[in-house]
Amino acid sequence: MTNQFVDSTALLTQPEQLRARAEQDGYLFFRGLLPAEAISPVREDLLDVVERHGWLRKGGNRSLGRLRVAALSQEPESKMRTDIGVSRDAYHDVQKLESVHRLPHHPHLLNLYRTLFGGEPLVHARHIIRMITPHPAVFPTPPHQDFPLIQGTAQTWTCWFPIGDCPRSLGALKVLRGSQNLGYLPIEPAKGAGAIAAQLCPGESDWVEGDFAMGDVLTFPAFMVHRALPCQFRDRIRLSFDVRYQPLVEPVEINSLRPHCELTWEQIYADWKSNDLKYYWRDLPLKMADWDRTLLQYGHRIC
């Protein structure tokens, strides 16, 4: 029996209890934290990109995100962002969207982390927009911790939310309860986003999962092991964000403030209508941390 996410919405007004729940379970899950009005336009923008690249099935309910799988599968692996699910070119189009970079600054998310941290949050600028497709080079994200990939501070929290409804059958994310207390786990190479898997010991199997509706948000700290469920549909795209927040007073690693693609911020900002979010971190009193290459070296865990 797999456990299902517990909704922590009621604790948003009780910081002590919110932190106690975070301490105990590791993850926090909030039903409907983001309003549909904030997410739907982003879903439309993402589907527009998929359509422009010729991969969206015409006719029927466009919002289901049904794909022209044969057309997408012709995209050579060398042109794909296999950690994302679409081509490098399509991902550039997505990274240029102002709506994509605005959503992580939604007041409901900032309030959540202000409450959780008991202080000002820093929003990492490196937002990851997953567009998981049935392309043959794309695999479900393996079980991993984000810390070796993000670094900076162990007090960085990943925030994962689908852009549209995402039942387990569409390949939602799940977390290993209690793993937030395991510290850094040795890694091995793996297929799927991040390309590393955390080495788990027998008995470390207390997975928690659930069906996400549009607006639901899952968040967890840097050592929490998480993975994606496989998508059961042969022709649908799974759209989701993973974005990161940390206390402003904690150190941040420079890559967390760089784009999640080869474009420069200047190129990303080229068509934006407003300026308020451009280089927003440059005015903040940041403490920087060095990158530790050894954290991405393969190791061996003794169980």
Ligand X SMILES: O=C(O)CCC(=O)C(=O)O
Could you say which of 81, 127, 130, 236 contacts ligand X (CB under 6 A)? 130
CA distances in angstroms from 260 to 39, 91, 135, 162, 285, listed in the order given: 20, 9, 21, 18, 23
> Which secondary-structure segment (H or E) carries 86?
strand 86-87
Residue type, 294: T
CA distance 206 to 33: 25
Per-residue binding string, ligand X, 216-245, x by CB under 6 A, is ----------x-x-----------x-x---
CB of 193 to ligand X, least distance (A): 5
Return the residues of window 174-213 that contact ligand X according to CB under 6 A. 193
Residue 220, contacted partner among ligand X, Fe ion, none, CB below 5-8 A by kind: none
Q: Which is closer to ligand X, CB of 124 or CB of 226? A: 226
- 17: phi then psi, degrees, rounded to nearest 5: -70, -35
CB of 219 to Fe ion, least distance (A): 12
- 100: phi then psi, degrees, rounded to nearest 5: -65, -40
Per-residue binding string, ligand X, 134-173, x by CB under 6 A, is -------x----x-----------x-x------------x
Buried b (16+ CB within 10 A) or exposed e, 123-153: bbbbbbbbbbbbbebbbbbbbbbbbbbbbbb
Return the residues of window 145-174 that contact Fe ion according to CB under 5 A. 146
246 binds ligand X per the rule CB under 6 A? no
Residues found in the chain: 303
Of the candidate spans 9-17, 61-69, 139-147, 253-261, the one that interacts with Fe ion by CB under 5 A turns out to be 139-147
Residue 228, contacted partner among ligand X, Fe ion, none, CB below 5-8 A by kind: ligand X
Q: Under a CB-based contact definition with an 8 Å cutoff, are residues 181 and 173 in contact?
A: no
User: With CB under 5 A, what is the number of residues at the site for Fe ion?
Assistant: 1
DSSP-derived secondary structure for 132-192: E---TT--PPPSB-SHHHH-S-TT-EEEEEESS-B-GGGT-EEEETTGGGS-S--EEE-SS
87 binds ligand X per the rule CB under 6 A? no
CA distance 191 to 142: 7
250 binds Fe ion per the rule CB under 5 A? no
Torsion angle in degrees (nearest 10) through CA of 45, 109, 23, 165: -30
Q: Which is closer to ligand X, CB of 139 or CB of 269? A: 139
CB-nearest residue to ligand X? 242
CB of 108 to Fe ion, least distance (A): 22
CB of 275 to ligand X, least distance (A): 29
Q: Which is closer to ligand X, CB of 180 or CB of 240? A: 240
Which residues are near Fe ion by CB under 5 A? 146
Which residues are near ligand X by CB under 6 A? 130, 141, 146, 158, 160, 173, 193, 226, 228, 240, 242
